[in-house]
Amino acid sequence: MSTHARPRIGEQHCQECLVSIGPERIREEFPTLWTKVHGKPLVYLDNAATTQKPRSVIEALTRYYTEENSNVHRGVHLLSQVATQAYESGRTKVRQFVNAAHDREIIFTRGTTEGINLVAQTYGRRALRAGDEVLISAMEHHSNIVPWQMICEEKGAALKVIPMNDAGELLLEEYRRLLTDRTKLVAVTHVSNALGTVNPIQDVIALAHGRGIPVLVDGAQAVSHMPVDVRELDCDFYAFSGHKLFGPTGIGILYGKAYLLEAMPPYQGGGDMISAVTFEKTIYNTLPYKFEAGTPHIAGVIGLAAAIEYVERVGRNQIAAYEADLLAYGTEILTAVPGLRLIGTARDKAGVLSFVLDGIHAHDVGTILDLEGVAVRAGHHCAMPVMKRFGLPATARASLAFYNTRADLDALAKGLHKVREVFA
């Protein structure tokens, strides 16, 4: 694999349409997309699991480790100052990316999962009493179910679930009924990883706020597909993962409204989260450091900042428009495959084509597609209650990013015909 010295997209501040940049130019930037699997060119359609990384992210990581490596918020020496500067400007970049009001509302975590656990273990532990309720939806990822189950069990509180219809759309009337004086928090996904549903999250938030209930949004599957503005949404917490946004693994973000974060106890204790320690008493640091105990994932933040820059150069509105077209095309050609049933047919969808083939298990579909070079996920997608809701053991799932093309979806359809041939 050679490295090229082609101009990068967007270096000329390109805000024009993604399609005019050309998918080929974009694919150039993602070295993993050039690999072959089983002797076939990789067709990567597992972006909901994790996304590939553009060269600018890989280079940012290399640069940090080769030229700037040092700890943050500690040294008086130059490199430590450089690292601290890079780390904190990463926070500013994230703040701008989600349009939060203050840098201190951006907490770095390991990922979406840790962000949700943080809120459950701090906000949840303070707010919940026996008999209280936490409200989630029927399409949550396990990481937005289990942390609530754990704290509810500890507190004698109950977990309630907003149901969905057969298309995979939340039932807002039911939701309205489930909001009561006992509800202490609503935690709902922005986009479903198993079905692709884009939830009417603004309505979900407004209805909860009407009763003074805060809302956590799981944004893991949203940020790579569409613009997200936490102030416009008015969500109280918003959690997402760097690795699903073309950045490194091990870095995530929890946005929280400052007044809520201020009132919450720390999550973990250690270095960085304190301002003074004696054996009798510790004075906690201010936001956001109160929630960032220990040496953080400095390289992760730097890589994530590079990923965000990349996404902004491509343009989030452009990404959304391009992917909408791709999803419509994928829906059309998959629907034409005999015996194929799409799971998740909400009117508003992003990035995900989940499906089953008559009489053929998803795992077999996944194996045969893999041999054709087509990478999809087969299984329950960490959303076993969703599978149960649809009465399925598993689905196969193709999930999109802006570097995918119609040709990728054609390869998927061709692969599915091969699957049917094998089982004919």
Partner 1 sequence: MSDLRELYQQVILDHYKRPRNFKKLDGATRQAEGNNPLCGDQITVYLHMDGDLIRDISFEGAGCAISQSAASLMTTVLKGKTKAEAGALFEKFHEMVTGGENAVDPMELGKLAVFCGVKEFPVRVKCASLPWHTMRAALEGQNGSVSTE
Which residues in this chain contact partner 1 in the complex, by CB under 8 A? 38, 359-364, 367-368, 371, 378-380, 387, 393-394, 422-423
In Å, how far are 126, 280, 413 from 266, measured between CA atoms? 11, 17, 50
Is 226 an interacting residue with respect to ligand PLP (CB under 6 A)? no
Residue 338 touches which member of partner 1, ligand PLP, none, C-beta under 5-8 Å by kind: none
List the single partner that 361 binds among partner 1, ligand PLP, none, CB under 5 to 8 Å by kind: partner 1
CA 55, 58, 64: angle at the middle one, nearest 5? Answer: 135
Longest dimension (CA), the chain: 73
Kindly give, in sequence order, each residue whose CB lies less than 8 Å from that of residue 359, ignoring residues fewer than 6 positions away. Answer: 339, 423
Contact between 189 and ligand PLP per CB under 6 A: yes
In the block, which residue shows the tokens 């220990």?
294
Cβ(266)–Cβ(252) below 8 Å: no
Q: In the complex, what is the shortest distance from the CB of residue 253 to ligand PLP, in angstroms, rounded to a whole number?
A: 11
Q: Does the active-site annotation cover 382?
A: yes
Q: Which is nearer to ligand PLP, 378 or 382 (CB)?
A: 382
Strand partners, 283: 276
CA–CA separation, 112 and 146 (whole Å): 13
Instruction: Write down the catalytic residue from 14, 17, 152, 382.
Output: 382
Binding residue for ligand PLP, selected from 95, 141, 389, 397, defined by CB under 6 A: 141
Among 47, 113, 199, 285, binds ligand PLP (CB under 6 A): 113
Q: Does 218 bind ligand PLP (CB under 6 A)?
A: yes
Tell me the two tokens of residue 21.
């940049």
CB nearer to partner 1: pick between 250 and 379: 379
Question: CB of 218: closest distance to ligand PLP in angstroms?
Answer: 5
Nearer to ligand PLP, 10 or 247 (CB): 247
Nearer to ligand PLP, 218 or 323 (CB): 218
Nearer to partner 1, 53 or 377 (CB): 377
Q: Give the residue, chosen from 145, 299, 382, 386, that forms a contact with ligand PLP under the rule CB under 6 A.
A: 382
Burial class (CB in 10 A: 0-12, 13-18, 19+), 164: buried
Contacted entry of partner 1, ligand PLP, none for residue 60, CB cut-off 5 to 8 Å set by kind? none
**Closest distance of CB 336 from ligand PLP, Å:** 28
Among 375, 287, 305, 386, smallest CA distance to 344 is for 386
CA atoms within 13 A on the CB side of 263: 10
Q: Distance between CA atoms of 52 and 42, rounded to whole angstroms?
A: 12
Vertex 51, ends 201 and 386: CA angle to 5°? Answer: 45
137 binds ligand PLP (CB under 6 A): no
- Three-state secondary-structure class, residue 271: coil
Q: Is 221 in the site for ligand PLP (CB under 6 A)?
A: yes
Closest approach, Cβ 295 to ligand PLP, in A, equals 20
Mind telling me the catalytic residues? 382
